[in-house]
A and B are shown apart, each in its own frame.
Chain A
Amino acid sequence: MPTVPPSTRPAWWPHFNSTLRSTAVTARLGLVLGIAIGACFLTGLLSYFQYQAWEWLPPPASPVWGYRVTQGVHVATGMAAIPLVLVKLWSVYPNNFRWPPFRSVKRVVERITLALLVSATLVQLFTGFFNVLNWYPFRWDFVSVHYRLAYIVVGSLLLHVAVKLPDIVYGLQTKVAEGDVLTEIPWNENPESHSIAGPLPPPVTPGLSRRGVLTAAGAGIGVVVVTSVGQTLTPLEPIGLLAVREPSKGPQGVPVNRTAEEANVIGAASAPDWTLTIMGPKPYALSLAEIEEMAVHGARFPISCVEGWSANADWRGLRLLEIVERAGGTADSQIRVRSLEAAGFFNKTVIFGPQLSHALLATHLNGERLSVDHGYPLRLIAPNRAGAFNTKWLATIEFIS
């Protein structure tokens, strides 16, 4: 295919002549990717809110499956976005080879913000996926970077949409087969791009068609989603060839995220003289035998992890609110529960508002006494609550207010 290179362009400069790439293809991929990133961002913020809830707005307790759905969506869309972003970037790769490389200040500024968008998105998606795999080749605190990087991704994405809006509108309004040919030469300087060509017939795409590229990408992403989402969508667990977790294979039918060994609590948790200390206006203590005698309330809540896995379970135990009221508290109290675990971010958690009213101090899981990995002798479980904040191996209950 002959081209019309700007006169100064060196002969060795790369030229892209595939007719598969088109603004019409890119705009469609970008639209879906934008929706996926938006869904990831919003569901991520919902989870972050549970991690840093405002005092005046307690996290809700209903629907009980709320956190399960939002974080299942977060991880599923994040995983789907990995192949999706790679195809999307394939479709615009020639734009990296515009000639001359530094044609204007405006263009250079755009390239810098694009570099930030692309690199932040890739790092965000891959480190998120690695976190789901409990793999930390990056040596930083995952949550604090993932949270801030999300704003950089979304901010630079909105800026990118603003810059490209005319192209996006053109791309979405044009039939896939008839759209311009996207090469390293901008369409408005390239008579062969077909978008300013007027009488030129639609570009020929021998081999796979543009629609075929979109279909293959959709099918590939579909396979990834269907075979991985079983970690939260229970009916699909049996076909979970790419499922990171298999919840039903966890002890007592529920996985754990932190084992008793990792928390170094096996000795303290199995001590027969374990007691639960309630430190309120009217402090008291409950022995293991008293706790087990009081554990008569049942509830069915899913336990749902920020890493995307979840499992519905039958719990039995004591109502936390009754314990709090006996110590002189009310449903408006702010309560902190502490684990036997000596240190770490998850050895204590604050619970207040509707989650306090609905929370159980559980002794039984799916009809059996809690195993030590699930928090024996006593753990917190509340509906619509981030899994990591359902503290295990409870030792004390304190009043903040």
Chain B
Amino acid sequence: MKIWRILLAVVGIGIGTYGISQLLTQVPRQTLVLVALWLIGALIIHDGLLSPAVVGVGAALRRYVPDRGRRYLQFGLIMAAMVTVIAVPMIYRARTQPPAKALLLQDFGINLTVLLAAIGGGTLIAYAIRVARDRSVPGRPPPNQAHE
């Protein structure tokens, strides 16, 4: 494994250094300042705002939602978050372009609502099936009580 690690590191440092030197020599200084600001901004937004918010939501779910239902809620929320992160910039940009481009013609607010409703509906149905099954098996306690 050691030889692979050295090889990967050497190739990685080589490619990365090439990219940095290209950026520093081929791109105007004003652009470099903006790129640097974006790089730092991405870290601040991701690690400083988005991640703590996700951790906070996760902790709140664990605290307030029983295990059996939480499983489905978490599943639905993960899917919903992934679709939302792609849809939001599209909602913001919708219908800003000449029609000939066939670009962002749709009402993505409605489309996102449809997708979230489908995800929410699917999650609810899966949860309802689970509840019904638990009831139909006599003597089997719901899992959230089993853990306590």
Residue positions of A touching B, CB distance < 8 A: 16, 18, 79, 82-83, 86-87, 89-90, 93, 96, 115-116, 118-120, 122-123, 126-127, 129-130, 133-135, 138-141, 144-145, 147-163, 165-166, 169, 204, 206-209, 212-213, 215-217, 219-221, 223-224, 227-228, 241-251, 255-257, 259, 261-262, 309, 373
Contacts and interface: CB of A to CB of B under 8 A. Distances in A.
A122 B16 contact: no
Contacts of A152: 16, 19-20, 23
Interface string B90-116: 101100111011111110100110110
Contacts of B76: 216
Nearest to B143: A206
A165 B4 contact: yes
A204 B9 contact: no
B83 interface: yes
A166 B1 contact: yes
B11 A138 contact: no
B119 to A, nearest CB: 8
Contacts of A89: 46, 51
Contacts of B140: none
Interface of B: 1, 4-9, 11-20, 22-23, 26-27, 31, 34-35, 38-40, 42-43, 46-47, 50-51, 54-55, 58, 61-62, 65, 67, 70-71, 74-76, 78-83, 85-87, 89-90, 92-93, 96-98, 100-106, 108, 111-112, 114-115, 119, 143-144, 147
24 contacts: A83-B81, A93-B51, A119-B43, A141-B31, A147-B22, A151-B15, A151-B19, A154-B15, A155-B16, A159-B12, A162-B9, A206-B67, A206-B70, A206-B144, A207-B70, A207-B71, A208-B70, A212-B71, A220-B80, A241-B114, A242-B108, A242-B115, A246-B106, A262-B98
A127 B38 CA distance: 10
Contacts of B119: 223
Most buried by A among B58, B92, B143: B58
A341 B6 CA distance: 52
Closest 3 CB pairs of A and B: A155-B16, A151-B19, A158-B12
B145 to A, nearest CB: 11
Nearest to B69: A207
Given A89-B51, A96-B47, A138-B38, A242 B90 contact: yes
B85 A123 contact: no
A161 B12 contact: yes
A165 B15 contact: no
B90 A148 contact: no
B78 A216 contact: yes
A373 B101 CA distance: 9
Q: Which of A135, A206, A243, A309 has the most CB of B within 10 A?
A: A206
Given A140-B31, A217-B78, A224-B86, A158 B9 contact: yes
A261 B98 CA distance: 10
Given A242-B115, A255-B102, 4 more contacts: A83-B81, A122-B42, A213-B78, A241-B111
A158 B8 CA distance: 6
Given A148-B27, A206-B67, A255 B100 contact: yes
Contacts of A160: 12
A86 B16 CA distance: 22
Nearest to A144: B27
Contact of A90 (B17, B54, B70, B108): B54
Nearest to B70: A207
Nearest to A247: B102
B82 A123 contact: no
B19 A140 contact: no
A40 B136 CA distance: 49
A304 to B, nearest CB: 14
Contacts of A169: 1
Nearest to B89: A133
A197 B20 CA distance: 42
Contacts of A244: 90, 103-104
A255 B103 contact: yes
A208 B101 contact: no
A199 B106 CA distance: 57
B115 A82 contact: no
A389 B35 CA distance: 28
Residue of A79, A123, A148 ringed by the most chain B CB atoms within 10 A = A148
Contact of B39 (A82, A120, A227): A120
A169 to B, nearest CB: 7
A298 B105 CA distance: 31
